[in-house]
């Protein structure tokens, strides 16, 4: 699907086993490819970015084997520069593949064409190219200067000496140089110009290089010495840690949604800097516990996170999660020193600001900061993801505010975490819904209201929304076939349900909407697609904790298809007509049994035949025929279903 609808969520609790780290996966693959010997890589991340690296390595002459049924690979290293000297490589939007391969190929003595998706061609690479040219690399831009695509040609590489590279745009430039320069066979000094951002990612690079036999020294993260005569040698087996950036979404879910939520695969022994996201959560009030290979987070006792002002240069990817967590803070929040967001899969500062505003936040955006003021109430929204996996994963957390959210292009998470939404669903609990559908006058309203009262849940009488639309149209002189005008009325309908009564604005119209003219009008407007669309979101917004009892004609089919309990409540036309007749007579309203019965049969036929959400029992709905059953028995039946499924205490 092009979108994914996430329901309002009540809480988050459980355990998640993390997929492998993208940063470690692609680094290990490249180092294994350049090494002498075979490397057995365990728990490699299965994702688009890693697939791009694997495809490229095979094209470049590296033999690797995937062990069926696992995430384990055996890579046969080439012991130096790549053997294939002429190749075209398409690397998608995988920065962790594009940047390091550019450096390694520039030193491999071949002719290579490197390209990616349109966004990859907007991500700067000029600082890396400038650094490689300092040692003789022959690299041309095939589009805009400073950006991919690139053409690399054989060149006389000058080993030794000093190479200077900027450190304030992307740490991937320095990582690429560090991993490639051992191919020169000579000692090379790298001097970082400007502040080095994302130092923890450089720490990952140095740690992994050392595992493959090349130890780089550095002075205050400003001067790095790559030793001469260094060769990569396989360490035999390498385990890929769980992805610490991905851990941030689940830890934040625990901090927002009660918890505890535990992630397995990273912990106190991790080499990834993004494990420090746990420290940031602690600073803003969350309860955090940690072991060697796990981290667990729970919400503050107060229930709300603390407002914060944090320098997040050291955890740029995980910092995005804090931007969404700011929606659940007790005051304005400031995220500082995040300029690197501008050159990621999208301009993440601009994208984050745009999408946070959709859910009601007030956002101030700067060159290297965001200020987020949370709204009093989150607003349902459709979130654009900009082909950026982290945007999709971050904004899933909005649903923990008991707020529905639609994620556009959810498959973009395949870049790093193809099973993300399944894993997220495994640790969250949606606001439960009991959907009671059935024909007119079957007793849905009475049963639904009493079940909601017994459970202490919200109640939605969806039929009343259509009746209210018809009543409003009659009051305003709008024709009942004027679809556009009716949809406008429905979208702004001031409807409320209070104590079993139906209000239009401040006026109790509970009796008025049950009159024949409103009943007929409701049936007419309910078949109009524009009216149904206008009321679609409004009905879903009744889904609030601790739960919702929704009754109507399409609750379990169209509005709440994920309802935990679905009941199709019906009765014979004769029984329904008699009940409606009694109700009207008791209220002193005129009624004829024969005409009521005829009207019900005609309405049943229209409801069953309508093109949009026809009235019918859903396959997963329980049939409840109340022809010979009183209200108390029907209410008890539904309550037993709810409690039997563990949705409410017995």
Exposure string for 355-370, b = 16+ CB within 10 A, e = fewer:
bbbbbbbebeeeeebb
Per the CB < 8 A criterion, the answer to whether 212 and 232 are in contact is yes
- Identify which of 51, 152, 153 has the alpha carbon closest to the alpha carbon of residue 93: 51
Exposure string for 38-64, b = 16+ CB within 10 A, e = fewer:
bbbbebbbbbbbbbbbbebbeebebeb
Strands 86-90 and 188-193: unpaired
Element (H, E) at 496: strand 495-498
Per the CB < 8 A criterion, the answer to whether 470 and 503 are in contact is no
d(CA 136, CA 3): 48
Annotated active-site positions, please? 317
Q: Is 153 left (phi over 0), alpha (psi -120 to 50) or beta?
A: beta
d(CA 540, CA 535): 9
Per the CB < 8 A criterion, the answer to whether 96 and 104 are in contact is no
Which stretches within 190-234 are classed as H helix?
199-211
Per the CB < 8 A criterion, the answer to whether 420 and 413 are in contact is yes
Per the CB < 8 A criterion, the answer to whether 73 and 109 are in contact is no
Using a 10 angstrom Cβ sphere, with 0-12 exposed, 13-18 middle and 19 or more buried, the burial of residue 611 is exposed
Helix, strand, or coil (residue 170) = coil
- Identify which of 412, 543, 433 has the alpha carbon closest to the alpha carbon of residue 3: 412
Helix, strand, or coil (residue 270) = coil
d(CA 445, CA 460): 9
Measured torsion, CA atoms of residues 301, 327, 291, 420, in degrees rounded to the nearest 10: 130
- Identify which of 144, 491, 446, 202 has the alpha carbon closest to the alpha carbon of residue 340: 202
d(CA 415, CA 386): 13
- Identify which of 568, 534, 538, 565 has the alpha carbon closest to the alpha carbon of residue 549: 565
């Amino acid at each position: 699907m092009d979108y994914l609808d996430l329901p309002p969520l009540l809480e988050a609790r459980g355990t998640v086993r993390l997929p492998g780290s993208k940063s470690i996966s692609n680094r290990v693959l490249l180092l294994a490819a350049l090494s002498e010997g075979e490397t057995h890589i365990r728990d490699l991340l299965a994702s688009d970015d890693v697939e791009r690296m694997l495809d490229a390595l095979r094209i470049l002459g590296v033999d690797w084997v995937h062990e069926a049924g696992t995430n384990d690979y055996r890579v046969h290293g080439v012991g130096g520069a790549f053997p294939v000297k002429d190749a075209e490589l398409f690397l998608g939007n995988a920065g962790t593949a594009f940047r390091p391969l550019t450096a390694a190929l520039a030193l491999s003595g071949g002719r290579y064409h490197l390209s990616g998706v349109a966004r990859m061609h907007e991500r700067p690479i000029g600082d890396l190219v400038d650094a490689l040219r300092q040692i003789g690399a022959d690299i041309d831009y095939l589009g805009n200067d400073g950006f991919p695509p690139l053409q690399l040609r054989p060149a006389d590489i000058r080993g030794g000496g000093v190479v200077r590279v900027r450190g304030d745009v992307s740490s991937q430039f320095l990582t690429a140089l560090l991993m490639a320069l051992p191919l020169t066979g000579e000692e090379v000094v790298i001097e970082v110009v400007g502040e080095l951002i994302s130092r923890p990612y450089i720490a990952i690079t140095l740690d992994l290089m050392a595992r493959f036999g090349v130890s780089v020294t550095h002075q205050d993260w400003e001067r790095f010495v790559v030793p001469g005569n260094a060769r990569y040698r396989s360490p035999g087996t390498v385990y890929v840690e769980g992805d610490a950036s991905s851990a941030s979404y689940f830890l934040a879910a625990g901090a927002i949604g009660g918890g505890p939520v535990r992630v397995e695969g990273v912990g106190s022994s991790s080499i990834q800097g993004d494990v420090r996201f746990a420290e940031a959560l602690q600073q803003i009030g969350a309860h955090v516990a940690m072991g060697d290979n796990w981290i667990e987070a729970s919400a503050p006792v107060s229930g709300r996170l603390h407002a914060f002002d944090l320098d997040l240069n050291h955890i740029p990817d995980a910092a995005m999660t804090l931007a969404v967590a700011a929606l659940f803070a007790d005051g304005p929040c400031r995220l500082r020193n995040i300029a690197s967001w501008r050159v990621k899969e999208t301009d993440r500062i601009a994208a984050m600001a745009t999408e946070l505003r959709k859910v009601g936040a007030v956002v101030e955006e700067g060159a290297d900061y965001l200020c987020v003021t949370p709204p009093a109430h989150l607003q349902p929204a459709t979130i654009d993801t900009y082909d950026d996996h982290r945007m999709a994963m971050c904004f899933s957390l909005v649903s923990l505010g008991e707020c529905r959210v639609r994620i556009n292009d959810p498959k973009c998470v395949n870049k790093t975490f193809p099973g993300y939404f399944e894993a997220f669903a495994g640790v969250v609990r949606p606001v439960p819904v009991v959907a009671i559908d059935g024909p007119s006058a079957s007793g849905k309203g009475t049963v639904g209201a009493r079940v909601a009262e017994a459970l202490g849940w919200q109640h939605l009488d969806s039929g009343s929304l259509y009746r209210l639309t018809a009543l409003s149209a009659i009051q305003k002189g709008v024709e009942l076939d004027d679809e556009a005008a009716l949809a406008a009325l429905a979208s702004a309908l001031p409807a409320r349900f209070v104590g079993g009564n139906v209000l239009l604005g401040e006026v109790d119209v509970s009796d008025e909407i049950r009159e024949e003219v409103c009943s007929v009008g409701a049936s007419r407007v309910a078949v109009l697609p524009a009216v149904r669309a206008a009321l679609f979101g409004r009905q879903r917004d009744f889904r609030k904790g601790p739960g919702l009892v929704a009754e109507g004609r399409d609750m379990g089919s169209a509005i709440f298809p994920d309802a935990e309990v679905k009941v199709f409540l019906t009765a014979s036309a004769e029984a329904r007509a008699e009940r409606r007749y009694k109700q009207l007579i008791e209220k002193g309203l005129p009624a004829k049994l024969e005409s009521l019965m005829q009207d019900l049969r005609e309405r049943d036929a229209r409801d069953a035949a309508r093109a949009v959400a026809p009235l019918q029992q859903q396959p997963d709905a329980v049939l409840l025929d109340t022809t010979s059953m009183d209200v108390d028995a029907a209410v008890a039946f539904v309550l037993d279903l709810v409690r039997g499924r563990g949705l409410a205490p017995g």
